[in-house]
């Protein structure tokens, strides 16, 4: 036996102390008394935890890891069958952002931060999958919503479909009359409405008034210098947007539209070549990359768009555009790239490329021969707020706490104030009418993004309200606390969702081209999720019949336009958006049905969906909550979590 093995084991056996039962009871009473006194002295759980950590001499990060605003403490995760499973919670460093690695159909992991709608849906899948067995433990049905829960950890994207690298002639242009027509139509899609929009538009990619001159054919068609024709990349990118965005709606032959636009996109890609190999570049290349990013968003390839706008952003920096070394045209192109960067950052939950502190270029200004700058300026200011939401409210790349604002930046109250200031200072041409509408399509899209930021900023609050509502429906005893569900920020979230559906209807009415933009589809989907969850947060009995009918009509409108857009996807069987909303409706209906009533029989919402059983069956008994101690404790925490009140009940 070695010296090490024969050495006595010091400190391994715990010491045993004998105390009388009365003394032990006295100690327990004192502990309870001290805990109550500490809670009365410091009602804030975070402050109590900090004090206890300080007294114990342990670092904060060792006990309280950074968690998602939507965190359910990660004590359980649902399986496909609906049974809850205990999993370990991994500690996260203070500087590490939250989010999820979601896998596409090919198994490729893609990071989505907390502002991403895909991440929010994944939190909902986890939550509902864990608590659903407590509500109704029944056999799976064809339309029970379980398909939504089975996609936990997954995301739908066309990025898994590779870019179509066609064998194209980059010098080939449409006939001159076709080019003039396509340029004019694109101005109605993404710029200034051919001068008819009072806002001047909310993007500016470049001069779209004149078609390019047909290039002189090189003597050797088999081998020629592509750099000599690099300027054609921009019009090819414009034509790609035109071919995709100006087609009929609903689409008649969507495959031909996609192939047509892909050919123009391939020509632009061939001319720009590898963006990492910069031999020569100009601000016109920035415009081409930005337009290509815009087109990729429209064809549901968000990650590819994210990479293209990153290339455009870095080109801007290399050219010094962020420091103002450009003319008014270059200035507008830079700010358009900035807007797309901030929009994709919020859409994907990823840090923006260009930090605000690095930008010294002035805002766009009115100039002769160019559209009014009002819409673009307002869009820039709104994009700055979007960046603040991503970086500070969700702590994806925080900088506000470094500047001395502290943790207050995480409260949506500051964002709500910023958004209200933005709206109150809009020029008259960008304001909505008293009935909340506008005849300027660009102005409509601007206000839809404003409403979407309200939804994103208040979504953590909304998720907490969902958790508390679910817990109170499933727990045998009521909540130990009274709280006011009619909170201002929660009402603002629901109102923003309603307003976006209202604006979407207006956009489809006034827009020259009936095909909806990807951004509008995204806003409608996000609004529909909120409206579906509203019936879970607020009791259905408290809503007037006309309110319930209006909400159902809003959700149906979103389903209709999303159904049309799914015909444009590369996979005709991909109906992820509409199926997600249908499944979410079913799951919420099951959770809101009283436990003693069969959800397929007694819920009028399911009857309206045509999802009821023909023959009534005795409802199965719910799973006893005592059989899931971890879930039981989690539900208790949701009910007693006064952070819901502490952070937001300031009205």
Q: Any idea which of 158-167, 330-339, 492-501, 510-519 has the lowest mean pLDDT?
A: 158-167
pLDDT confidence of 410, banded at 50, 70, 90? Answer: low
Are the beta carbons of 644 and 461 closer than 8 angstroms? yes
Instruction: Give the β-pairing of 84-86 and 76-78.
Output: antiparallel
pLDDT at residue number 593: 78
Average pLDDT (339-344) is 98
Higher local confidence (pLDDT), 602 or 589: 589
pLDDT at residue number 614: 36
Q: Give the span between the Cα atoms of 351 and 392, in whole angstroms.
A: 11
Cα maximum dimension of the chain: 104
pLDDT at residue number 354: 92
Q: Which residue has the tokens 């869009």?
A: 379
pLDDT at residue number 53: 61
pLDDT at residue number 10: 38
Q: Which helix (H) or strand (E) holds 308?
A: helix 302-319
pLDDT at residue number 146: 85
Average pLDDT (403-424) is 78
The per-residue pLDDT of the chain, averaged, comes to 79
Q: Residue 154's beta-bridge partner residues?
A: 103
pLDDT above 90 coverage of the chain, percent: 49
pLDDT confidence of 13, banded at 50, 70, 90? Answer: very low
Residues listed for the chain? 651
| pLDDT tops 70 at residue 597 | no
Q: Any idea which of 32-41, 344-353, 442-451 has the lowest mean pLDDT?
A: 32-41
Tokens of 121: 């849906």
pLDDT at residue number 35: 74
| pLDDT tops 90 at residue 521 | yes
Closest CA to 308 of 356, 247, 237, 379: 237
- Which range, 58-62, 448-452, 459-463, 566-570, is most confident? 448-452
| pLDDT tops 90 at residue 252 | no
Q: Which residues of 320-338 are buried (b: 16+ CB within 10 A; e: fewer)?
A: ebbeeebebbbbbbbbbbb
| pLDDT tops 50 at residue 274 | yes
Average pLDDT (356-375) is 96
Q: Is the dihedral of CA 112, 116, 122, 123 positive or negative?
A: positive
pLDDT at residue number 567: 63
Q: Is 584 helix (H, G, I), strand (E, B) or coil?
A: helix
Phi, psi for residue 77 in degrees, rounded to 5: -145, 140
Q: Any idea which of 38-47, 177-186, 622-631 has the lowest mean pLDDT?
A: 622-631
pLDDT at residue number 261: 87
Q: Which residues of 5-36 are buried (b: 16+ CB within 10 A; e: fewer)?
A: eeeeeeeeeeeeeeeeeeeeeeeeeeeeeeee
Are the beta carbons of 134 and 474 closer than 8 angstroms? yes
pLDDT confidence of 630, banded at 50, 70, 90? Answer: low
pLDDT above 70 coverage of the chain, percent: 69
Closest CA to 380 of 449, 295, 479, 294: 449
Instruction: Tally the C-alpha atoms within 13 A of residue 513's C-alpha that lie toward its C-beta.
Output: 22
| pLDDT tops 90 at residue 69 | no
Average pLDDT (150-166) is 80
pLDDT tens digits along 467-505: 888 888 777 655 444 445 447 888 999 999 999 999 999
Q: Where are the domains of the chain?
A: 176-218+229-430, 441-648
pLDDT confidence of 9, banded at 50, 70, 90? Answer: very low
Tokens of 86: 């205990």
């Amino acid at each position: 036996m070695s010296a090490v093995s024969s050495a006595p084991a010091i400190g391994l056996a715990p010491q045993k102390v004998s105390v009388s039962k009365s003394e032990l009871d006295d100690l327990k009473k004192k502990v309870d008394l001290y805990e109550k006194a500490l809670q009365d002295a410091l009602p804030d759980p975070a402050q109590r935890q900090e004090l206890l950590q300080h007294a114990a001499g342990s670092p904060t990060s060792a006990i309280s890891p950074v968690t998602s605003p939507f965190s359910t403490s990660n004590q359980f995760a649902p399986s496909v069958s609906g049974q809850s499973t205990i999993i370990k919670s991994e500690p996260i460093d203070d500087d590490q952002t939250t989010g999820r690695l979601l896998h596409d159909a090919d198994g490729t992991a893609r990071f989505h931060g907390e502002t991403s709608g895909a991440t929010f849906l994944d939190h909902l899948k986890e939550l509902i999958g864990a608590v659903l067995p407590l509500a109704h433990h029944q056999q799976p049905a064809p339309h029970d919503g379980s398909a939504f829960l089975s996609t936990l950890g997954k995301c739908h994207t066309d990025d898994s479909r590779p870019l179509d690298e066609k064998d194209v002639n980059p010098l080939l242009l449409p006939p001159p009359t076709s080019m003039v027509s396509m340029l004019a139509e694109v101005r109605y899609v993404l710029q200034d409405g051919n001068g008819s929009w009072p806002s001047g538009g909310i993007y500016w990619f470049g001069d779209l008034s004149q078609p390019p001159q047909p290039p002189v054919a090189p003597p050797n068609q088999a081998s020629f210098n592509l750099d000599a024709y690099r300027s054609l990349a921009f019009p090819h990118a414009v034509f790609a947007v035109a071919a995709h965005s100006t087609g009929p709606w609903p689409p008649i032959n969507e495959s031909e539209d996609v192939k047509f636009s892909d050919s123009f996109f391939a020509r632009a890609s061939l001319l720009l070549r590898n963006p990492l190999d910069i031999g020569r570049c100009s601000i016109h290349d920035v415009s081409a990359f930005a337009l290509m990013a815009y087109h990729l968003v429209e064809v549901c390839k968000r990650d590819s768009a994210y990479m293209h706008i990153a290339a455009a952003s870095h080109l801007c920096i290399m050219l010094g555009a962020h420091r103002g070394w450009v003319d008014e045209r270059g200035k507008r192109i830079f700010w358009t790239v900035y807007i797309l960067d901030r929009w994709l950052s919020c859409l994907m939950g990823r840090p923006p490329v260009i930090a605000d502190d690095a930008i010294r270029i002035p805002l766009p200004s009115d100039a002769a021969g160019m559209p009014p700058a009002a819409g673009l300026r307002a869009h820039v200011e709104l994009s700055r707020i979007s960046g603040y939401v991503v970086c500070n409210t969700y702590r994806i790349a925080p900088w506000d706490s470094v500047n001395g604002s502290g943790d207050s930046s995480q409260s949506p109250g500051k964002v709500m104030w910023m958004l209200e200031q933005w709206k109150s200072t809009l020029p008259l041409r960008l304001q909505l009418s008293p009935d909340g509408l506008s005849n300027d399509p660009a102005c409509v899209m601007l206000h839809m993004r404003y409403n979407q930021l309200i939804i994103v900023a208040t979504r953590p609050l909304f998720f907490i309200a969902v958790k508390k509502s679910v817990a109170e429906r499933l727990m045998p005893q009521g909540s130990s606390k009274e709280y006011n569900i009619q909170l201002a920020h929660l009402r603002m979230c629901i109102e923003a969702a309603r307003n976006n559906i209202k604006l979407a209807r207006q956009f489809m009415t006034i827009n020259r081209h009936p095909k909806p933009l990807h951004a509008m589809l995204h806003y409608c989907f996000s609004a529909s999720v909120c409206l579906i969850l509203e019936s879970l947060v607020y009791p259905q009995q408290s809503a007037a019949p006309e309110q319930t009918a209006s909400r159902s009509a809003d959700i149906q409108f979103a389903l209709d336009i999303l159904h049309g857009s799914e015909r444009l996807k590369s996979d005709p069987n991909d109906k992820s958006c509409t199926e997600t909303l249908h499944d979410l409706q079913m799951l919420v209906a099951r959770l809101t049905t009283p436990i003693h009533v069969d959800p397929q029989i007694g819920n009028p919402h399911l009857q309206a969906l045509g999802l009821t059983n023909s023959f009534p069956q005795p409802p199965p008994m719910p799973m006893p909550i005592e059989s899931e101690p971890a879930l039981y404790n989690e539900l208790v925490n949701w009910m007693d979590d006064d952070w819901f009140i502490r952070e937001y009940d300031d009205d």
